[in-house]
Amino acid sequence: MEIALIGDRHTVCGFKLAGIGKTFRMEDLREAGVRAVLRDLFDGTVGIILVTEKTAVEIGDVLDEVNR
């Protein structure tokens, strides 16, 4: 199982340095991109999806949708 992260550039940089390969910068994604990324992350190979607090506030509606 892998770990994935969606967050700001500083957090993504730190997690990349720690060896996390699946990282996504919120600056590079917008709402449609976030939906696509989350769909891909739920394919079964990712065990933990981390989302920073600030990012979670920005994409709260998308997270609510995924939660259902």
Q: Does residue 65 carry a pLDDT above 90?
A: no
Number of structural domains (the chain) is: 1
pLDDT digits (tens, 9 = 90+) for 2-60: 999 999 999 999 999 999 989 999 888 876 688 888 888 887 789 999 999 998 998 88
* Side chain identity, residue 67: N
pLDDT given for residue 31 in this prediction: 63
pTM of the model: 0.84
pLDDT given for residue 27 in this prediction: 85
Tokens of 37: 């990324």
- Which residues span the domain enclosing 21? 2-67
pLDDT given for residue 53 in this prediction: 94
- Rounded CA gap, 11 and 51, in Å? 10
Length of the chain measured in residues: 68
Residue 43: CATH number of its domain: 3.40.50.10580
Structure-model confidence comparison of residues 65 and 9, the more confident one: 9
One DSSP character per residue, 35-57 reads HHHHHHHTTTTEEEEEE-HHHHH
